Amino acid sequence: MIKKFIDKLLGKPAGGSKARFGRRTEVPASVHRIDPNLVDERAINVTRTLQQAGFEAYIVGGAVRDLLLGLRPKDFDVATDATPEQVKNLFRRAFIIGRRFRIVHVVYGRGREHEVIEVSTFRAYLDNAAAEQVKGNERTSKRQLEGIQHAVDSSGRVLRDNVWGPQDEDATRRDFTVNAMYYDPETQIVVDYHGGIQDAKKHTLRMIGDPATRYREDPVRIIRAVRFAAKLNPLGFKLESKTAKPLVEAATLLADVPQSRLFDEMLKLLQTGHALASIAQLKHLGLAKGIYPLLDVVVERADSDFVKAALADTDRRVGEGKPVAPSFLLACVLWADVRDGWAARLARKEHPYPALQDAIDEVFDARIGDVSGRGKLAADMREIWMMQPRFEKRVGATPFSLVEQARFRAGFDFLRLRADAQEVEDTLADWWQEFSMASDAEREDLVQAAKAEQQAKPRVRRAPRPEGEGAAPRAAKAVPEAMSEETAAEGDAPKKRRRRRRKPGGGEGSGSVE
């Protein structure tokens, strides 16, 4: 173990690490009262396989916290003294992932039904002083030096976390006491070093060690503090005052965190089933601005009917165990920018669809940049937005082709939220709901009825409605129907060649689903 080598070099007395890294307490089942039936069989299989191979292995982290509270965890993580390579060799479908923090994903099942048990190796708690002293010692081997190199920067921020160590140090380098407990499903013992069980009973979120130092080690812990406070608040949990006090001042440290990591943490904040509660916590803790620019936009718009409905819908889907996609939620958050930019271009008599595409590009450049790689996320968002004017065209071949698109449900759910926010008429969303579920003959009747309705009205397409004062003019007559007929969608079949298309699969709207 590298950490034992470090202790030897630094001349630490025997038992010193115990005083520094907490006292091991083994709590039996008669005390903690965890229900074994709440433990996932796959997590049990992983720990058992590792133990039979001669390694230590425990269920760890939030799963243990939830089990103590009598809840069935959604995810199970395992911690072990086996290295990632040793773990990988024990399982048929196991994959080493990550660079800054190397872990193993053990995969059970296939397709959308697959489950992943995340396995991490016990990490050493390596502070700045110890890292520098060891790197400068001539007795440090090349392999040991590679494990420690650039582990901590001059400010104390942990850059790499791949230095293995004993369990007591692994517990100390975790964030909150209630997330630093280890459960052995074989012996049903909970191993606790920092009073996590007592804090769980008191419903207290307490940082291990000095909070300011821990935020400096990894500023992302600031966002994690908000997320856990939001998640556990319904259960009565509160951030300890000493843990909450440095948050605002420490938020400036996030400027040195890679944008891609902040983007991922923002999505976790919004997509773990507590988006509205997380935004409330950000405001309560004085962190409504400054964590991440796109998150600032979410918080700013969370009180608008449309974005609030999208956040509530995301929370609902997560609570029901349904998958969610960041593309849908972000498309909702940034729709106001796209809509207003599009309306302004239509007011300048620009061609409708190129105008919409230009508005989308402008929003991507201003709000998202290259952090997402502008790959599938951006493509899905663009498709959702580009569908919206096509929903207004309910005659010809457009309805038949649109309903067959892979992202139709996402686009329709987006339209439904717009109707709920009174941005478009409810009758439009109701028509598409009925059309999507109808038989071929019923669809023909619906199209004919829509055509008759259209012929009875002026042939004018309205631009999207800007929101709030200072928005672009509405430009109600900017898009003639004749123009939209020609440009509504690429690939629409000519009316004479239109053929009946099969009905898409039913089911509840899945706009949040990839």
**DSSP code per residue over 314-368:** HHHHHHTT----HHHHHHHHHHHHHHHHHHHHHHTT--HHHHHHHHHHHHIIIII
Beta-carbon count within 10 A of 439 CB: 10
Record the tokens describing residue 76, joined without a space: 């199970």
**Of the candidate ranges 63-72, 77-86, 131-140, 392-401, the one whose mean pLDDT is the lowest:** 131-140
End-to-end CA distance of the chain: 43
- How far apart (Å, rounded) are the C-alpha atoms in residues 503 and 506? 8
Q: What is the largest CA-CA distance in the chain?
A: 91
d(C-alpha 332, C-alpha 388), whole Å:
12
Average pLDDT over every residue of 120-135: 65
State the pLDDT confidence band at 462, using cuts at 50, 70 and 90: low
CB 465 within 8 A of CB 425: no
Per-residue pLDDT tens over the stretch 184-208? 999 999 999 999 999 999 999 999 9
Around Cβ 5, how many Cβ atoms within 10 Å?
Answer: 17
pLDDT at 98 (0 to 100): 85
Greater confidence (139 vs 356) lies with: 356
What integer pLDDT is reported at residue 456 of this predicted model? 77
Prediction pTM value: 0.76
Per-residue model confidence as pLDDT tens digits over 476-503: 333 333 333 333 333 343 343 444 444 4
| All domains in the chain, ordered by first residue | 1-202 (3.30.460.10), 209-303 (1.10.3090.10), 326-497 (1.10.3090.10)
Classify burial at 96, counting beta carbons within 10 Å of its beta carbon; exposed 0-12, middle 13-18, buried 19 or more: middle
pLDDT at 504: 44
Confidence grade of residue 180 (pLDDT, cut at 50, 70, 90): very high
Average pLDDT, the chain: 82
Q: Pick 8 or 232 by higher pLDDT.
A: 232
> DSSP of 133-146, one letter per residue?
HHHT-TT--HHHHH
3-state secondary structure of 369: coil
Q: Which has the higher per-residue pLDDT, 161 or 235?
A: 235
Mean pLDDT on 239-250:
96
Provide the pLDDT for residue 490: 38
Pairwise pLDDT comparison (471 vs 265), residue with the higher score: 265
Nearest CA to 325 among 392, 397, 270, 390?
Answer: 270
Question: Which of the four pLDDT bands, split at 50, 70 and 90, describes residue 375?
Answer: confident
Average pLDDT over residues 40-62: 97
CA separation, residue 124 to residues 4, 110, 127, 183, 421 (Å): 9, 34, 9, 19, 51
Q: Catalytic site residues?
A: 75, 77, 175
Q: How confident is the model at residue 418 (pLDDT cuts 50, 70, 90)?
A: very high
Taking only the tens place, the pLDDT of each residue in 289-341 is: 999 999 999 999 999 999 999 999 999 999 998 889 999 999 999 999 999 99
Dihedral sign for Cα atoms in the order 236, 237, 242, 247: negative
Residue 147 pLDDT class (50, 70, 90 cuts): very low
Query: In degrees rounded to 5, what are phi and psi of residue 283?
Result: -65, -40
pLDDT, average across residues 361-370: 85
> Could you give the CA distance from residue 315 to residue 232 in angstroms, rounded to a whole number?
14
Output the six-digit token pair for 135.
Answer: 């790197």
